Chains A and B, each alone.
Chain A
Amino acid sequence: MSENKTPLIEVKHLKEYFNINTGFMRSKPLKAVDDVSFSINQGETLGLVGESGCGKTTVGRTLLNLYKPTGGEIYYKGKQIKTKADINEFRKKATMVFQDPYSSLNPRMTVSDIIGEPLDIHKAYKTREERHEKILTLMDRVGLNSEHAARYAHEFSGGQRQRIGIARALALDPDFIVCDEPVSALDVSIQAQVINMFDELQQQMGLTYLFIAHDILVVRHISDRIAVMYLGKMVELADAAEIYEHPLHPYTKSLMSAVPQPDPKIARSNKRIVLSGDIPSPLNAPSGCPFHTRCPYATEECSQSMPEFKEISSGHFVACHKAAEIN
């Protein structure tokens, strides 16, 4: 990707705080996403990984304005998304595929109505025939038998349901899709079918993905670049191969080493960096670098100030005071 091109999506200092009631008339902000910046180029897949509660799903949802951002700016093709009209326009071009193919499809709607709903909302057709035609084309595109348009979601298997979800996301001919754990509920043999479909659709339609997942091998397979989050902060961002082979942040290092490799010889010889302790609650996030409570290299400085998210080598960003020292 050339540097001077305007990225398709740009996010600057995105913040999303939720107010959590902590007692009678008392509440506390939960910093689900705290000062996250990144950009995604046209036709690129950015993988977003991290453990549960790190804020990766919230980034995806806030990006699409499903949550109103607490702070920060979102740009689409260089234009800031601010007003209600902007958001409405943006949502035609930016859609989402959800994790759970069981709960994300309305059981009382037929497949054709599920896929047609975005078309209805944005009035993307003139005649009923045109609507029907569009739905059949979409079903065909994701490998569903178009004769099944009148069926209900429960009549389909998990993999097929996820295809319905993808067809719905494609209905308005988007540029950008947020894929939130789209394959984690699927069996291994079905997973590969769906991953390949994401790949093919990207090539055919020039799509751009934000691919959120906790399975690092899946993300490594599909992504051009990978970002790692921990407790609402982005701790590292680099090319997929680079971050997988040469992680700089101590959290990324342990994350990459903890990936169970489907190869007994590698798995036995693999030196895992096993972290002690659990992820702190985001309600009581540690001061300074959020990782310092579990970091083997943490010093006084780490518990006091949050390290800056800076570019260490070309395209490789990391937020760690000790990055230069430990690598």
Chain B
Amino acid sequence: MALLEVKDLHTSFFTPAGEVKAVNGLSFNLDRRKVLGIVGESGSGKSVTAYSIMQILASTGKIVSGSIKFDGQELVGAGEKVMKTIRGNKISIIFQDPMTSLNPTYTIGHQLMEAILLHTNRNKHEARERAIEMLRLVNINEPEKRINQYPFEFSGGMRQRIMIAMALACEPDILIADEPTTALDVTIQAQILELMKSLQEELGMAIIMITHDLGVVAQMCDEVIVMYAGSACEQGTADEIFYNPAHEYTKGLMRSIPTADTAGTKLKPITGTPIDLLNLPKGCPFAPRCENAMKICIKERAERMQINEFHQANCWMNVKEGIENGSIEISKEGGEES
């Protein structure tokens, strides 16, 4: 059994302008000790997926349907009481912006101990010891002294390390990292990613890495989900996604990023702009920007197709090729999204 099973998740925001379908039929499994990357552009629903798992959506947002199972336990509709035992204890999250995620009016020690006191049986003294231990784990020098300091006394990279310490204090099984290094400089980013990787190996947790940076994904992730307009257009192992992309959007994305080899050449951008989530089309949401779009792409969304053992994609282009050489099987499950 997978540690986390997400099945046909639909999360919407109900705004005066109408229902915004931010996550629209997402399914995935996460095994222990794995790093899963969720990539996509802004508005593709990757952060909303994380917030849905944690059930920390804004008041206008709601999980409309679907199932999220942690270790076999259903979380959708489980209620706030159950979620309190999960959040911070079993599943932790770190946010993009370390500058605003810490409370400026409390010492970092206070903020670190809060989670420990809430979720474990440690007394204040033991919690403090644990907090110091965590700070040492994330390479903060002189933790005994630093624990009494306020967030403004730390640099951005250190604050993000404190956020990680806080998230890991109760030894969660899953760490959700929502753009953990986007606000940081490259050399600091390298430090944080290295730290996350080594902690993951040491503590044996699973990580969901949400990012728009394909470089971070390539470095960190075992498996990757590519999201577009609220649903996964492709998912598989990192090697499959990077070396054998099977969705036109992923292919376009790979072509459009500058690398060391593209200097002096033209990049091949994806034309157009992302679609409006208020008015999702009937067909493939990427079809209006897709240069190979066929008639069927506009009429009907492709079902989930098994490309190989490690790789699935929702793109009609695979069938076009597949029908010709007959090598692709179409699995009926999990498709049929409106």
Contacts and interface: CB of A to CB of B under 8 A. Distances in A.
Contact of A192 (B158, B188, B219, B267): B267
Given A188-B253, A275-B191, A195 B267 contact: yes
Contact of A264 (B191, B239, B273): B239
A214 B41 CA distance: 19
A278 B188 contact: yes
B212 interface: yes
B263 to A, nearest CB: 5
A263 B242 contact: yes
A262 B260 contact: no
A196 B263 CA distance: 12
Most B CB atoms within 10 A — which of A192, A266, A275?
Answer: A192
A73 interface: no
A192 B217 CA distance: 19
A236 B297 CA distance: 50
Interface stretch (A27-35, A80-88, A252-260, A319-327): A252-260
Interface stretch (A102-110, A217-225, A305-313): A217-225
Interface in A166-207: 187-193, 195-196, 199
A244 interface: yes
Contacts of A299: none
A259 to B, nearest CB: 6
Given A52-B185, A264-B242, A189 B41 contact: yes
Interface string B181-214: 0000111111101100000000000000000111
A51 interface: yes
A191 B242 CA distance: 19
A262 B214 contact: yes
A150 interface: no
Interface in B159-196: 185-191, 193-194
A245 to B, nearest CB: 8
A97 to B, nearest CB: 18
Contacts of B266: 196, 199
A20 interface: no
Contacts of B279: none
A159 interface: yes
A187 B271 CA distance: 12
A261 B215 contact: yes
B273 A275 contact: no
Given A187-B274, A267-B218, A218 B258 contact: yes
B257 interface: yes
Contact of B155 (A220, A222, A263, A278): A278
Nearest to A266: B218
B188 A255 contact: no
B158 A278 contact: yes
Contacts of A199: 266
Contacts of A189: 41, 252-253, 256, 269-270, 274
Interface residues of B, number: 44
A192 B270 contact: yes
A165 B104 CA distance: 36
Contact of A267 (B212, B219, B256): B219
A262 B243 CA distance: 11
A214 B267 contact: no
A299 B262 CA distance: 38
B269 A196 contact: yes
Most A CB atoms within 10 A — which of B42, B215, B217, B262?
Answer: B215
A1 interface: no
Interface in A240-276: 240-241, 244, 254-255, 257-268, 270, 272, 274-275
A227 interface: no
Interface string B265-302: 01111110110000000000000000000000000000
Contacts of A279: 155, 185
A96 interface: no
Contact of B271 (A193, A218, A220, A262): A193
A275 B242 CA distance: 28
B71 to A, nearest CB: 29
A157 interface: yes
A259 B271 CA distance: 26
A189 B42 CA distance: 11
A190 B273 contact: yes
B259 interface: yes
A244 B263 CA distance: 11
B127 interface: no
A258 B158 contact: no
B138 interface: no
Contact of B212 (A187, A195, A263): A187
B238 A258 contact: no
A111 interface: no
27 contacts: A159-B273, A187-B274, A188-B256, A189-B270, A190-B273, A191-B269, A192-B258, A192-B268, A193-B270, A196-B267, A196-B269, A217-B259, A220-B263, A255-B186, A255-B187, A257-B190, A258-B186, A258-B187, A260-B186, A260-B219, A262-B254, A262-B257, A262-B259, A270-B219, A278-B155, A278-B158, A279-B155
Given A244-B260, A263-B218, 4 more contacts: A191-B269, A222-B263, A261-B219, A267-B215
Interface of B: 41-42, 155, 157-158, 185-191, 193-194, 212-219, 238-239, 242-243, 252-254, 256-260, 262-263, 266-271, 273-274
Which 3 pairs of residues, A with B, have the shortest CB-CB distance? Answer: A260-B215, A192-B269, A221-B258
